[in-house]
Amino acid sequence: MSVTITKNISPEAAKDIFELQQKINGFQNGEIPEDKFKAFRLTRGVYGQRQLGVQMFRTKFPFGKITPKQLVRVAELSELYASSNLHLTTRQNIQLHYVKVTDAPAIWAGLEDVGATGREACGNTVRNITASSKAGIDANELFDVSPYAQAAFEFFLRNPICQDMGRKIKPAFSSSDKDSAYTFLHDFGFIPRIENGERGFKVVVGGGLGAQAILAQTAYEFLHEDQIIPFMEAALRVFDRYGERVRRHKARMKYLIKEIGLEKFMELVETERKANKVKHFKIDTTKVEVGTPTHNNIAPLVEIEDKQRYEDWLKTNVSEQKQKGYFSVALKVTKGDVKPDEARKIAEMVQNYASEDMRITMNQGLLLKFVRAESLPYFYQELNKMNFATPGFDSIADVTTCPGTDTCNLGVTNSMTLGKILEDVILDEFYHLIFDSEIKIKISGCMNSCGQHMAANIGLHGSSIKVGELVAPAMQVVLGGGVDVNGVGSVGDKIVKIPTKRTPQMLRIILNDFETNSTEGEYFNDYYRRQGKNYFYTILKPLANADLYVDDDFIDYDGVENFIPEIGVGECAGVMYDMVGGIIKDAENKLMDAKENLAKNKFPEAIYYAYTGFVIGAKALLLSKDVECNTQIKILKDFDLHLVQTGEFKIEDGFENLVLQINQHEPEKEFAENYVKQFTYFLKDVIAHRESSLNKDKVVVESSYKA
């Protein structure tokens, strides 16, 4: 597949695209092992699907900002190279499915041509930086967080400190204390503050969902705006060095902070600050414009037929902006799926009658901004034709779901169809709850919480129940998670596991009980806690009674035969097998990167590439001695123990002291040149040592290579 590099594509992006093409060719020619290629393509947005031979391509739109031109381009790419569907995600991205790996460079080039990217959308990187979708128009905000999210995105994109981490990092910026960005469940969370006339943020760290949800802890009640990126950089250095790498399920920042404690973590962060690329980082708050339209167009007049439904839509899907005379319009997108022609129509409406600054929302919808009151009937009518004007955006009837078994390797059950069925239950039987109940329903196809089920008032995750020789597709019911009206976040409690086909009845039982036993205006989670976990276990337990199962309980939604669990291996972090020689080759590549950045006077980058190369080179020799390499700091210490102290390597002050010079010097020219030179000598010694004493074909086991 030939790729066209246009003048709009930066040299850095062009290099990325060319490198991806070369890696694909090398993999197809048998020159690159499959798992090594997998690790590379993940950081370029190319993720394996459940279906063999095709990939999911994940785009990266910081804080969900997307223009009509970009939306149309993604629609075109979905028709040319994917399944003609744009899937909106909870990280404010768009995913394309059923992509051939050979088409990935062309998709990437198409994105870069309109100012978007796929770089670091997957893999062990800083993932898409999310933010409140109403940032910039929110009447409750102290200031617009969009420029801060954009600055963080730009600073860490291609940054060497976050290219080879043990696991992914997810940051979020909330526009107000209502925490609509769910900062409490992110590795880094930022909430605006103003002290003595200065802007800053409350900063929380170490949150996360996954199989074990952990609430973030407060690192700063107020951190000046100039310090948020230096803090993130230093914290990432700590995570890179001390974070777990072998036990993938323990490799997130939340586990590192839980293990060593927040106080120790913050001490390590302060130690790293001297090596930072920047000590202060002034955010250009003008870089992301508010998005006020340059036109005064009013949409054509239309006659609304169902006036009551239109009024309901106004109440739930339309909000008045802080900019007088303008409104935001939210699209309720079932399953998060948008067809190319629908995307083009939305783009056309926005260009003519709204702001070109659209936002993908965290609940898999779209937010259109700066719509005039006179244009609202037209927007309702046109969106309703596409089924995007159903009342109840971000309400109990707007169910969040991950793709589940539709496309995901890890999916246990079908979550998307179940989500649509539960929405129908609400709209048919509990319609009044869309207006003021503040109940959120979220579904994940497995325990990993891509559908954010642990952060829902009513959450569900895919599972199974074995009954004799049969297996029933099941949902684990989770209650009591989410963000309350004061912005306080909670993680839900697991209640009971029930067959998937009984989930609609479960919802009816809970909502009928809520309407019967809650007090007037009582928030669902307060009602849940007042009744208690055991109360809900008791009223839902009959649904789990295996003696009452019928044949249909053993067939998943959209299935025709009895359910058989088919769980693949996820690709969120994946490096697997390699050989010692291959690892040393990686170190040699780091040396090339270090020298290249040194020549460009990019001294902090050159230093960090050399640091990573030191670690990789040491790892190669340690693995040949069957020493487990689960963290970088352990590699430094074990190299001293097993190679320096035994006399095999001569390093005067020890390997750990040599490498950790990185913390003792400012990242300036003299130190950078000396550090890269020291790494050059070290790598030569590593290669010589290996050639003299190691079996060149020795294979390194999967679990040890990741550090």
What is the share, in percent, of the chain residues with pLDDT greater than 70? 96
| 652 has a pLDDT exceeding 50 | yes
- Which amino acid type is present at position 653? D
157 and 106 in a single domain? The answer is: no
Handedness of CA 174, 176, 182, 186 (dihedral sign): positive
Instruction: Return the closest-CA partner of residue 683 out of 603, 592, 605.
Output: 592
Is 117 part of a structural domain of the chain?
Answer: no
Instruction: Return the closest-CA partner of residue 411 out of 305, 565, 302, 543.
Output: 565
33 and 105 in a single domain? The answer is: yes
Give pLDDT, residue 1: 57
Is 280 part of a structural domain of the chain?
Answer: no
Is 566 part of a structural domain of the chain?
Answer: no
547 and 407 in a single domain? The answer is: yes
Cα separation, 268 vs 276, in Å, equals 13
At which of 554, 587, 603 does a domain end?
Answer: 554
Cα separation, 392 vs 423, in Å, equals 10
Burial degree of 6 (CB within 10 A; 0-12, 13-18, 19+): exposed
147 and 266 in a single domain? The answer is: yes
532 and 421 in a single domain? The answer is: yes
Is 331 part of a structural domain of the chain?
Answer: yes
pLDDT-based confidence at residue 575 (cuts at 50, 70, 90): very low
Cα separation, 438 vs 444, in Å, equals 20
CATH of the domain at 165: 3.30.413.10
- Per-residue pLDDT tens digits for 311-324: 999 999 999 999 99
Give pLDDT, residue 63: 98
Half-sphere exposure of 261 (CA within 13 A, CB side): 3
pLDDT-based confidence at residue 556 (cuts at 50, 70, 90): very high
Give pLDDT, residue 207: 97
CATH of the domain at 597: 1.20.120
- Per-residue pLDDT tens digits for 344-370: 999 999 999 999 999 999 999 999 999
pLDDT-based confidence at residue 574 (cuts at 50, 70, 90): very low
- Per-residue pLDDT tens digits for 478-491: 999 999 988 999 99
Give pLDDT, residue 572: 52
| 703 has a pLDDT exceeding 80 | no
- Per-residue pLDDT tens digits for 54-86: 999 999 999 999 999 999 999 999 999 999 999
Pairing state between β 326-331 and 318-320: antiparallel
312 and 365 in a single domain? The answer is: yes
336 and 446 in a single domain? The answer is: no
Find the mean pLDDT for residues 1-14: 89
90 and 39 in a single domain? The answer is: yes
At which of 385, 417, 448 does a domain end?
Answer: 385
Query: 59: which 2 tokens?
Result: 């785009």
- Which amino acid type is present at position 58? R
pLDDT-based confidence at residue 243 (cuts at 50, 70, 90): very high
Find the mean pLDDT for residues 266-279: 96
Query: What single string gives the DSSP state of each residue in 167-223?
Result: S-B-EEE-SSTT-TT-GGGSSEEEEEEEETTEEEEEEEE--B-SSS-B--EEEEEEE
CB 171 within 8 Å of CB 63? no
Give pLDDT, residue 52: 87
Give pLDDT, residue 571: 53
Per DSSP, the three-state class of 469 is coil
Q: How much is the CA Rg of the chain, to the nearest whole Å?
A: 26
Is 300 part of a structural domain of the chain?
Answer: no
Is 203 part of a structural domain of the chain?
Answer: yes
203 and 268 in a single domain? The answer is: yes
CATH of the domain at 19: 3.90.480.20
CB 236 within 8 Å of CB 158? no
Is 632 part of a structural domain of the chain?
Answer: yes
588 and 663 in a single domain? The answer is: yes
Burial degree of 487 (CB within 10 A; 0-12, 13-18, 19+): middle
Per DSSP, the three-state class of 582 is helix
Q: Domain total for the chain? A: 5
pLDDT-based confidence at residue 577 (cuts at 50, 70, 90): very low
Strand partners, 605: none
pLDDT-based confidence at residue 579 (cuts at 50, 70, 90): low
Query: 550: which 2 tokens?
Result: 């019928």
Cα separation, 679 vs 653, in Å, equals 15
Is 467 part of a structural domain of the chain?
Answer: yes
What is the share, in percent, of the chain residues with pLDDT greater than 90? 85
pTM of the model: 0.93
- Write down the residue that tokens 């973030």 correspond to: 216
Cα separations (Å) of 568 from 51, 411, 507, 529, 565? 10, 8, 30, 37, 10
**DSSP letter (8 states) at residue 642:** I
32 and 163 in a single domain? The answer is: no
Give pLDDT, residue 705: 39
371 and 325 in a single domain? The answer is: yes
Give residue 536's domain range. Answer: 400-554
